[in-house]
Amino acid sequence: MATTIWRRPAIGLWLLALLLTAPAAARNINVAGDFDFYVLSLSWSPSYCEAEGSRADRSQCSAGRPYAFVVHGLWPQYERGFPEFCRALPSRAPETVVRAMLDVMPSPNLVRHEWEKHGVCSGMTPQGYFAKLRAARDRIAIPPAFVGPRDYRMVGTMDVERSFQAANPGLQADAVAVTCDSRRLREVRICMTKDLRFRPCPEIDRRACRNPRLAVPPVR
């Protein structure tokens, strides 16, 4: 009985000491403004529309919506993992801000979702966050081959990456990653510092597509 009484405080003290000595980063998960870098995610809209079919957002995929690369999001990242759903006010983006982003993010639902999951972790207001997102998008030149292709074609995965490097001086291979589904190009993800300079991101690079060739559906 005496042994049990003394063990419990000892365990409690050990846990308290562990928490107090843990790295600060381990205790600051999902704190708005506390992150290491951004990932700008550019989605190949024709692949999204084709893959999702009837479930696709009609604002983006209905007839007469000829989108090529669109912005999926600007995501705060840790060196490993990422914050999400941080506590921030407002928790929802104002409709004026949502509407102002539809030229680069052609789905109101996507704009709202990106603020509620990722933007709230930026430490900025919705206006500030989406201004940063737009500045990040403006930083990137889209390679000519992906401006508005009208034919279904196959490309090498590394060729997609190299084309973005060629169009964007200073963009190194370890700062850009191509993602895919089973056969289609889905996204190009580019890693940036908080002041929007290119920077390496090993974890993002490791998650890149391993399929050597990808289908690129044409602009609708």
Domain boundaries, the chain: 32-216
Q: Which stretches within 22-125 are classed as H helix?
A: 24-27, 45-52, 58-61, 95-100, 108-117
123 and 28 Cβ atoms separated by less than 8 Å: no
* Catalytic residue of the set 50, 118, 161, 187: 118
For this structure, is 72 an active site residue?
A: yes
Q: Tell me, what's the pLDDT at 26?
A: 52
Q: Tell me, what's the pLDDT at 2?
A: 45
Distance CA 146, CA 111 (A): 23
Q: Is the dihedral of CA 145, 151, 154, 157 positive or negative?
A: positive
* Catalytic residue of the set 50, 79, 113, 114: 114
Q: Tell me, what's the pLDDT at 220?
A: 75
CATH H-level, domain 32-216: superfamily: Ribonuclease T2-like (3.90.730.10)
Mean pLDDT of residues grouped by 10 in the chain (220 residues)?
44 44 57 97 97 94 90 97 95 97 96 98 98 98 94 97 98 98 97 98 96 94
For this structure, is 79 an active site residue?
A: no
Q: pTM of the entire structure?
A: 0.86
Distance CA 177, CA 101 (A): 24
For this structure, is 118 an active site residue?
A: yes
Nearest to 38 by CA among 91, 83, 70: 83
208 and 179 Cβ atoms separated by less than 8 Å: yes
Is there a cis peptide before residue 94, judged by omega within 30 degrees of 0? Answer: no
* Catalytic residue of the set 50, 72, 161, 187: 72
Q: Tell me, what's the pLDDT at 125?
A: 97
